[in-house]
Amino acid sequence: MYAQISTLAFVGIEARAVEVQVRITPGAPAFAIVGLPDKAVAESRERVRNALHAVGLGLPYKHLTINLAPADLPKEGSHFDLPIALALMAAMGAIAPDAIADFAAIGELALDGSIRDVPGGLPAAIGANALGKGLICPAGCGAEAAWAGEDFTLLAPPHLLSLVNHFKGLQTLSRPKPNVEANNELLPDLRDIKGQESAKRALEIAAAGGHNLLMVGPPGSGKSMLAARLPSILPPLEVEEMLGIA
């Protein structure tokens, strides 16, 4: 029995594509994870085993091999728990392999089957979108991952059982919305500055056209005062601009 699902490994802030491959074969019972896993990934055996038990699934009394490909890319972090569990469930026939074929998944599993938050929700969503796949992530990461765009499928289940029910049509997981924090901070206003008409005109031109601006002058001439008031005349950032400077 064989199944696979996509996930991502993080190299800095960049997300690299990784394939979780599971094969279940007759033989001495074992649960082997290969593909340069670190300590956290190696320990996922017990988290996955107990999480599956919590949703009523026991691992078969066979040889289980989990391969994280490509093998030469180091795999770090606990976010490989969820894709390993999903690939195992597909190989066991608990969910249809086609149901997870178009998804990448990240998430740490608790022993009760709940899906815990992991770092890197936004880079993972951007990486999955670039691969042409949807993303399955923890509920707490959904609002962050939603900033990657609206043109890909995003599932953010709180528990492994709710994800299984979604794939079986017993439950519908709604798409998370991007989290927006209200900013009530009052910015220094350009109108507060008396005089400096040429400098204020330069700020307005730079803000209107998105031009670079270099202010040169002796200490006390008002450079910092002017620069502090530039954001008050800039338009709100677009989503792409937010991602570019985040």
Closest to 117 (Cα-Cα) out of 96, 143, 97, 91: 143
What would the DSSP string read from start to end of 59-119?
Answer: --SSEEEEEEESTTS-B-SSTTHHHHHHHHHHHHTSS-HHHHTTEEE--EEPTTSBEE--S
pLDDT at 52: 97
Helix (H) or strand (E) holding 54: helix 44-54
Residue 181 dihedral angles phi and psi, to the nearest 5°: -95, 130
Q: In whole angstroms, give the CA distance from residue 187 to residue 129.
A: 35
Burial of 156 (0-12, 13-18, 19+ CB in 10 A): buried
Q: What pLDDT, on the 0 to 100 scale, is given for residue 42?
A: 86
Per-residue pLDDT of the chain (246 residues; tens, 9 = 90+): 999 999 999 998 899 999 999 999 999 999 999 998 898 898 999 999 999 999 999 999 999 999 999 999 999 999 999 999 999 999 999 999 999 999 999 999 999 999 999 999 999 999 999 999 999 999 999 999 999 988 899 999 999 999 999 999 999 999 999 887 766 678 899 988 998 899 999 999 999 998 999 999 999 999 999 999 999 899 888 878 887 776
- Report the alpha-carbon distance of residue 158 to residue 166 in Å, rounded: 12
Helix axes 160-167, 81-92, angle to 10 degrees: 40
Task: Give the model's pLDDT for residue 150.
Answer: 87
CATH top class, domain 2-167: alpha beta
Q: Where are the domains of the chain?
A: 2-167, 190-245
Crossing angle between the packed helical segments 44-54 and 160-167, to the nearest 10 degrees: 60
Give me 222's structure tokens.
Answer: 């008002």
Give the pLDDT of residue 206. Answer: 94
User: Cα angle vertex 81, ends 159, 40, to 5°?
Assistant: 130
Q: Return the pLDDT at 10.
A: 94
pLDDT tens digits, 191-241 = 889 988 999 999 999 999 989 999 999 999 999 999 999 998 998 888 788
The answer to whether residues 156 and 173 touch, using CB atoms and an 8 Å cutoff, is yes
Residue 243: predicted pLDDT: 79
Q: What is the pTM of this model?
A: 0.83
Q: What does the pLDDT read at residue 37?
A: 85
CB atoms < 10 A from the CB of 235, how many? Answer: 9
* Helix, strand, coil content of the chain in percent (nearest 5): 40, 20, 40
